[in-house]
Structure 1
Amino acid sequence: MEPLGTARTDAYLRRLGAARPDRPTAASLRELHLCHLRTVPFENLSIHLGEDLVLTPDAVFDKIVTAGRGGICYELNGGFAALLGALGHRVELLQARVYGKDGALGVPYDHLALRVDGRWLADVGFGDHTALPLDLDEPGEQKDPRGVFQVRPARDEEEDGDGDEEEGGGDLEVLHDGVPVYRLETRPRVLADFRTGAWWHRTSPESGFTKGPVCSRLTEDGGRITLRDHTLIATSADGNRAEEELATDEEVRAAYRTGFGIVLDRLPVPLHPRP
């Protein structure tokens, strides 16, 4: 990602409510990572509002900063990469394939994550995931406010006829509480590489993103607030969950405004509704 200019960097930091760090450090990265998760929601509303997902630096900046919206992984991590680069971090875009509930891997370029300064795995675009970057140099378990995570070398269970391991979808596996969540390649990519994955997620009936609108962010107390269609879900830091069904469209629009700072003149309509 091309780094932002000074004015855009300052605007992005204001969007996060964060001060400009004196220099790029692991501590400042952790603080910005947490601010991003608390401020910029993970949301797929564009898919259900008939808006395209445009993966260019200008479009990502305008959506997150100028329009005060959020986005899916390509947009959120793409924007965060540009901000970190402007602040002096060395940032590489990595592609990942997400494990489904059945244990199968998703499509190539399923997910975008970031390697920062050659050591840190930053990811502000995976919904309920880490609150802080993971240390790629640590092979063991890593405790995070959102659970216990691990980054380990990936190994395919099946082998080809010669006894050699078949090439898998990535080089590293990221686990959350012992369960693999995605497989990460370590080869750096550019934002344009992810356009096919974004198109699939925006259009395919098999994509979970086309089933209905969702908007979610981390809260200041370590919990999470989520609006899934007309259901408002509040999850506390200790995992307690409360749901409220919103009866009217105005209640839904109000929840977007108060919970996420998103002002809509019309509500998103599911592209491929669940049966």
Structure 2
Amino acid sequence: MDSRQADAYLRRIGAQRPPKPTSRALHELHLRHLRTVPFENLSIHLGDEIVLEEGRLLDKLIGRGRGGFCYELNGAFGALLAALGYEVELLAARVYGDEGRLGIPYDHLALRVGTVEGDTWLADVGFGAHSHHPLSCTDRAEQADPGGVFRVADAGPDAAGVRGGGSAGAGDLDVVRDGTPRYRLETRPRALGDCVAGAWWHSTSPLSHFTRSLVCSRLTEDGGRITLSGRELKTTAADGTCGARELETDEEVLTAYRERFGIELDRVPTVRNRTPSPK
């Protein structure tokens, strides 16, 4: 990513270029990203190709004003942070699903970020409802965040007993929110291209929840969340109170994408795969 692209990215999220790659600046960039770049899987249902290459990701997020899912959002955000002088490593993870079982390899992508002060943070702008701020990679105590109480825990060799999750590799970490494991993080650095198979599976498999539902969601300024799932527009306040309404016309749906998420579409996406997941 060159300086011009980095400046355009910063304009997209409403941020100033930090003079140094500090922890404080990282927290600000992380929060602004969550508020402006939606977590969305619309490309899957619009029939658009998802390409995990930096240039294509920047074109999607900056040129077309879109969002994406984890590989796209964290892949692009990692490129921005590296351009700003942060030390960035891509980390693969497996997400805890039904009955605490772990998903496929390269199920998720997160970032390990080093700052000028020597701090190391887990940054993740691609997991939907998650922490608003980066989490310390080295602190094993509970970490309070507007999104919940988080803990980055050593998985250990006996972690197979954690909610039926499966064996852990050396150095693996469990990211826990409000007492429930969310995903298991490998600590070996990866390349964005390593995630191609995971992105393909999530984009095509009838077992993937991304192929069976539509979602477009972002954090709001007051710490709540706004989500458009198909035709249901849902708002959740910071205190957890919710409101939802059904959008009746295509024009209402397209207006919601444009006004609430900054996404211009020429047609309403519809779920392409209606095959139910096996029990």
Structure 1-normalised TM-score? 0.94
Residue matched to 1:93: 90
Residue matched to 2:11: 14
Alignment of 1:1-275 (within 5 A): 4-117=1-114, 119-155=120-156, 156-158=158-160, 166-168=167-169, 171-273=172-274
Amino acid at match of 1:200: W
| Deviation, structure 1 residue 113 | 0.1
Identical positions, percent = 60
Q: Distance in 2 between matches of 1:105 and 1:168?
A: 13
What SS class does the counterpart of residue 112 from structure 2 fall into? strand
Structure 1 unaligned segments of length 5 or more: list them.
160-164
Q: Distance in 2 between matches of 1:67 and 1:169?
A: 40
What SS class does the counterpart of residue 186 from structure 1 fall into? strand
State whether residues 140 and 151 of structure 1, in contact with CA within 8 Å, keep that contact through their aligned partners in structure 2.
yes
State whether residues 46 and 269 of structure 2, in contact with CA within 8 Å, keep that contact through their aligned partners in structure 1.
yes
Moved over 2 A (4+): 155-159, 165-170
What SS class does the counterpart of residue 189 from structure 2 fall into? coil
Distance 1:274 1:246, change over 3 A: farther
Amino acid at match of 2:243: A
Structure 2 unaligned segments of length 5 or more: list them.
none
Number of residue pairs matched by the alignment: 267
Tell me how large the CA RMSD over aligned residues is.
1.5
Q: Distance in 1 between matches of 2:17 and 2:141?
A: 32
Q: Deviations over 1:125-176 (max 9, x none)?
A: 00000000000111010000111000001134449xxxxx955497000000
What SS class does the counterpart of residue 126 from structure 1 fall into? coil
What SS class does the counterpart of residue 262 from structure 1 fall into? coil
| Deviation, structure 1 residue 271 | 1.9
Amino acid at match of 1:144: D
Q: Deviations over 1:194-229 (max 9, x none)?
A: 000000000000000001211000000000000000
| Deviation, structure 1 residue 273 | 2.3
Distance 1:157 1:199, change over 3 A: same
| Deviation, structure 1 residue 101 | 2.8
| Deviation, structure 1 residue 59 | 0.4
Q: Distance in 2 between matches of 1:54 and 1:39?
A: 22
